[in-house]
Amino acid sequence: MKVTRRSERTERLSHSRSATTRELYYFYEKNSGVAHFHVQADPQGGFPVDQAAGLLAMHCMVRGQTPSDYVVMIQAENDILAGLAEKAEKLLQAGHSVSGPVQLTRREEEVLGGVMRSLANKEIAASLNLSERTVKFHVSSLLAKYRVRGRMELVREASRHTGGPMPLLMPVARESRPCAPSVPQGYVNPARNAAVVPLAKRQMMA
């Protein structure tokens, strides 16, 4: 065994580290990833082998496992974790900005077309022959997919994501009826009151 004498500077660093931090060693089960117990480092920051071995043997005995079923993890230092959340948030925002187009159903595209034309839910429902409740459901789904809170934001985001024109709303087909000519009040159709006179009788009357 090779013995190395530590300098006074090394000892001061060791004591300073033990005074400011106490590392924890977590024992995770490999199969489930669940942390079952942990041990605290000794005052010098070392791994407490005897204490950890006793706890590990106890857990293996109770659970019918072996020491190889566990893995030991330690908590990262604060300076290592500095800026991690901030950088991850920036990468997440960049990923959202370059994400693909929002996937919409055909009915959602039709409802979105009405929203972008500033139509109310009632008008969209009449144009698509739907109930107003169904239109409200599709509008809520559109707000969730575009991650917005209101119709104005929905129009802005949809305009930014949409490459082509939105589908036109198809009007509901209505039965066409011939328009009756307007008749002045008190007007009597002479054809209805005129009697049919034979031609010979007309000549005698003349």
Full set of structural domains in the chain with CATH = 11-78 (no CATH), 106-161 (1.10.10.10)
Integer Cα distance of 10 and 69 in angstroms:
36
**173: pLDDT strictly greater than 50:** no
Among the listed residues 80, 75, 78, 77, the one whose alpha carbon sits nearest the alpha carbon of residue 38: 75
Answer yes or no: is pLDDT of 129 > 50.
Answer: yes
End-to-end CA distance of the chain: 153
- Order across the sheet with 70-74: list the strands: 35-40, 24-29, 70-74
Structure tokens at 98: 């370059």
pLDDT in tens, 69-80: 899 888 777 776
Q: What is residue 23's predicted lDDT score, i.e. its pLDDT?
A: 79
> In this predicted structure, what is the pLDDT of residue 203?
54
CA Rg, the chain, in Å?
42
| pTM for the structure as a whole | 0.37
Q: How do residues 152-163 score in pLDDT, each as one tens digit?
A: 999 998 888 765
Burial category of 5 from C-beta neighbours within 10 Å (exposed 0-12, middle 13-18, buried 19 and up): exposed
Residue 26 vs residue 182, higher pLDDT: 26
Averaged confidence pLDDT in the chain: 74
Is 126:172 a contact under the CB 8 Å cutoff? yes
- Quote the pLDDT of residue 64: 87
